[in-house]
Amino acid sequence: MSFAEPLTLRCGAVLRDYTLVYETYGTLNAERSNAVLVCHALNASHHVAGTYEGDPKSTGWWDNLIGPGRPLDTDRFFVIGVNNPGSCFGSTGPTHINPATQQPWGVDFPVMTVEDWVDAQARLCDALGIEQLAAVIGGSLGGMQALCWSMRYPSRLRHCIAIATAPNLSAQNIAFNEVARRAIVTDPDFHDGHYLAHGVVPKRGLRVARMIGHITYLSDDTMDAKFGRTLRAAIGAEVVQRSGSPRYTTLDIEFEIESYLRHQGDKFSEYFDANSYLLITRVLDYFDPAREHDGDLSAAFAAATARFQLVSFTTDWRFSPARSREIVKALLDNRLDVSYAEIAAPHGHDAFLLDDSRYHGVLRARFERIAREIDAGSHADLARPGLGIAT
């Protein structure tokens, strides 16, 4: 969908006109009260569920959660997936033409923030005729968007579901992002961010960026269980007895984990835009709603009225449970409705994309409750603040 109305960004720049690519699933009811917005994280897109016709491999990134009969049931809800501007799956972004120069934006694409994204998403909702969303849901960076919705457009959502997220990134988290960015910008093919004009892509940098990211999304235990110290040559029955003997090479792949990371990096570098990666890691870095309130996160949520559901995973060290508890505390301080589940899943940050039954159980219960509210038609008075527990 194209938007002609300029979007003023936090950085001061203005996107004069822009396109948002989105997908919807299910049917919007007559009262327009059953819409759920799904916010994507770093490298995902508007394609949240299902497959495209004739392409059985094109499964949506949150297909285990969203679909007919799934916890977020598309037979009951009207689900919206939208690609955020600055990303690289069709919405206006660095690979698109800058109207001022008639060249690809490249690295000159304005730096976005979570707030800008949420503003763009709100306009999409306007265009779809949805005044109030039944829920906004997201994990990781997507969770930040859900939280931002509750602060920025409090009357436009009834439930805010934020999973494996944080009120801001820690220094360590920013540090990981910076390593990824440096890998990209120091790639000789980066050409100061205008690699498209040179007909190349800084794939080496993208690969390394993805590798470091991937390490941080997994837990130590998962990696150990999945790969351990297994040598790559030891795969296959006949060479098993060789498993104790390394080849003593510094350049070749020796351990299984190396092979896995390289494969992930290769795959990623084929489809993701380097400038989008730089930009979206910055979106993460800049998110800090408490900053405008002298670091007081509770004050940042003062306007919020939504009912919150937070979920974290015990082995997630990139968006740890402690960070979710900070959010819970801020919501408690504002006497907002909040439920918080801390799932003892082994998979690290990646757990939010997996289908752990405890995790999906609480989400299913929440969406069933939201569906009941919609069926009861009681949603009109549900956005009141400080309502406490109520069905």
Partner 1 sequence: MSAGNDLDLIAGLVPTGSRVLDLGCGSGETLAYLRDRRQCTGYGIEIADANVLACEQRGVNVIQLNLEEGLAIFDDQSFDVVLQIDTLQHLRNTERMLAETARVGRIGIVTFPNFAHWPNRLSVIRGRMPVTKALPYEWYDTPNIRVSTYADFEVLARRCGLRILDAFGIQLGAPVRLCPNLLASVAVFKFERA
- The nearest distance, CB 326 to partner 1, in angstroms, is 9
Total site size for partner 1, rule CB under 8 A: 28
Beta strands 35-39 and 78-82, pairing class = parallel
Longest alpha-carbon distance in the chain: 68
- The nearest distance, CB 26 to partner 1, in angstroms, is 22
Distance from C-alpha of 45 to C-alpha of 220, rounded to nearest angstrom: 28
> Which of 188, 361 has the CB closer to partner 1?
361
254, 266, 285, 342: residue in contact with partner 1 (rule CB under 8 A): 342
Which of 119, 316, 337, 350 is flagged as catalytic? 316
Which of 40, 46, 349, 360 is flagged as catalytic? 349
x/- site string to partner 1, residues 366 to 385, per CB under 8 A? x-xx----------------
> Which of 32, 369 has the CB closer to partner 1?
369
68, 188, 228, 361: residue in contact with partner 1 (rule CB under 8 A): 361
Distance from C-alpha of 304 to C-alpha of 301, rounded to nearest angstrom: 5
- The nearest distance, CB 200 to partner 1, in angstroms, is 49
> Which of 21, 162 has the CB closer to partner 1?
162
- The nearest distance, CB 29 to partner 1, in angstroms, is 21
Burial class for 356, CB neighbours closer than 10 Å (0-12, 13-18, 19+): middle
Distance from C-alpha of 90 to C-alpha of 363, rounded to nearest angstrom: 29
Question: Which 284-313 positions form the footprint of partner 1 (CB under 8 A)?
Answer: 309
Task: Examine residue 338 and tell whether it contacts partner 1 (CB under 8 A).
Answer: yes
- The nearest distance, CB 166 to partner 1, in angstroms, is 16
Which segments of 40-189 does DSSP mark as H helices, in order?
114-127, 141-152, 171-185
Kindly state the DSSP code that residue 58 receives in the 8-state scheme. -
Task: Examine residue 13 and tell whether it contacts partner 1 (CB under 8 A).
Answer: no
214 is catalytic: no
- The nearest distance, CB 337 to partner 1, in angstroms, is 6
Distance from C-alpha of 249 to C-alpha of 260, rounded to nearest angstrom: 18
Closest CA to 208 of 182, 234, 230: 182
349 is catalytic: yes
Rounded alpha-carbon distances, angstroms, from residue 248 to 237, 243, 244, 252, 253 = 22, 13, 12, 9, 10
Task: Examine residue 332 and tell whether it contacts partner 1 (CB under 8 A).
Answer: yes
Beta strands 18-19 and 2-3, pairing class = antiparallel
333, 346, 383, 385: residue in contact with partner 1 (rule CB under 8 A): 333
Q: Which stretch binds partner 1 (CB under 8 A): 135-143, 145-153, 335-343, 376-384?
A: 335-343
> Which of 254, 333 has the CB closer to partner 1?
333
- The nearest distance, CB 382 to partner 1, in angstroms, is 11
Question: Count of CB atoms within 10 A of residue 184's CB?
Answer: 25
Kindly state the DSSP code that residue 14 receives in the 8-state scheme. E
Q: Would you say 8 and 14 are in contact if contact means Cβ atoms under 8 Å apart?
A: yes
192 is catalytic: no
Residues sharing a CB contact under 8 Å with residue 250, sequence separation 6 or more, in sequence order: none
Q: Would you say 89 and 83 are in contact if contact means Cβ atoms under 8 Å apart?
A: yes
Q: Would you say 111 and 11 are in contact if contact means Cβ atoms under 8 Å apart?
A: yes
Closest CA to 167 of 326, 20, 10: 326
Q: Which stretch binds partner 1 (CB under 8 A): 63-71, 267-275, 289-297, 365-373?
A: 365-373
Rounded alpha-carbon distances, angstroms, from residue 356 to 65, 346, 362 = 10, 10, 10
Question: Count of CB atoms within 10 A of residue 120's CB?
Answer: 22
Distance from C-alpha of 241 to C-alpha of 220, rounded to nearest angstrom: 26
Q: Which stretch binds partner 1 (CB under 8 A): 132-140, 226-234, 251-259, 331-339?
A: 331-339
Question: Which 142-161 positions form the footprint of partner 1 (CB under 8 A)?
Answer: none
Task: Examine residue 355 and tell whether it contacts partner 1 (CB under 8 A).
Answer: no
Which of 45, 91, 140, 219 is flagged as catalytic? 140
Task: Examine residue 325 and tell whether it contacts partner 1 (CB under 8 A).
Answer: yes
Per CB under 8 A, residues contacting partner 1 are 309, 325, 328-329, 332-333, 335, 337-344, 358, 361-362, 365-366, 368-369, 386-391
**So which residues are the catalytic ones?**
140, 316, 349
